[in-house]
Structure 1
Amino acid sequence: MWLKFGSSCYFISSEGRSWDDSRCECQQRDGDLVIISSPQEQAFLTGFTGAAWVGMTDRDQEGIWRWVDGSPVSLDRDRWAPGQPDGAFGGEDCGELRTMNAFLGLNDFNCSARLRWICEKSLNE
């Protein structure tokens, strides 16, 4: 089911896939993994699931986070979970939105982990 917020629609999956497979699923739905462009959008998406893939990665250059459209991800501490991104466990190159009590916000995670995902498509296209 697609949900409307602002000028976009969002699809929150009910199953888990890797980041790459999740992105393919979004593209097959004429969208892409979500690009979170405001605190209001992040607040809207928070709470639909405990953890979900979003459209950010630092695969091209370690520590330089970019959204799937190539734009930079803000390292604003208000948007990231405490202590993140941390590149733990030898490589966490894909982004998720985590919504747990003491761990709320953007997080870097292993791209092959099977998580739910959030697709976005613009209503303006």
Structure 2
Amino acid sequence: MALLNVRSLVNKTFVLNDFFFTSRLDVLFLTETWIRPEKVCPEGWRMFCHSCYVLSEKLGSWDEGRDDCRSKGADLVVIESLEDKTFISSYIKERAWIGLNDKEEEGNWKWVDGTPLTLQNWVAKQPDNGDGNPKWGEEDCVHVEPDASWNDLSCSASLKWICEKHTTE
């Protein structure tokens, strides 16, 4: 079992067995499995579980949102669990792009990380790909409503977006 010299970690915040500590230790040896630096999000981002999230301030297409997220070392949010869904609904108060689309094949919904859709939370009668109405056009991208339900929409529509960045130790 490798030992970690905490002398180099003086004046930092740590998570020890899921409790937070700030210490001025001179010398202490602990196993690496017991102590790890606190995970931190960039300024303006919000932490949930093992990821950081930010809602854009500007509006844009789904592709513009994804490009913006990538420029920040992130991507559009992937909603993998009921906990993620609950967090997102508590975080946003308006429609926003998420990282789900069927651009490659109509009806084959995939997340931006390549994973297929498993958890679903569609608005009633959605997705409908515009229901054949030329007013709506092709609807290949997904946005989340403030209640955390999803709707497909034209990727060129102008909405805010939610970026997700996984934290690193």
RMSD: 1.5
1:116 aligns with 2:160: yes
Correspondence for 1:84: 126
Correspondence for 2:117: 73
Correspondence for 1:2: 45
1:10-40 residue CA offsets vs partner (Å, 9 max, x unmatched): 0111211100000000000100000011111
1:80 deviates by 1.5
Helix, strand or coil at the partner of 2:114: coil
Name the CA distance, whole Å, in 2 between partners of 1:18 and 1:24.
Answer: 10
Unpaired segments ≥5 residues, structure 1: none
1:43 deviates by 1.2
After the TM superposition, which parts of structure 1 deviate over 2 Å for at least 4 consecutive aligned residues? none
Unpaired segments ≥5 residues, structure 2: 1-43, 131-135
1:85-116 residue CA offsets vs partner (Å, 9 max, x unmatched): 1111331000111126xxx5011111001100
* Match for residue 66 of structure 2 among 12, 23, 35: 23
Correspondence for 2:27: none
* Match for residue 101 of structure 2 among 53, 57, 75: 57
Q: How many matched pairs? A: 120
Name the CA distance, whole Å, in 1 between partners of 2:119 and 2:54.
Answer: 25
Identity, in percent, stands at 42
> RCO higher in 1 or 2 (8 Å CA, sep ≥ 6)?
1
TM-score (norm 1): 0.89
Matching residue's letter, 1:116: K
1:81 deviates by 1.5
Helix, strand or coil at the partner of 1:46: helix
TM-score (norm 2): 0.67
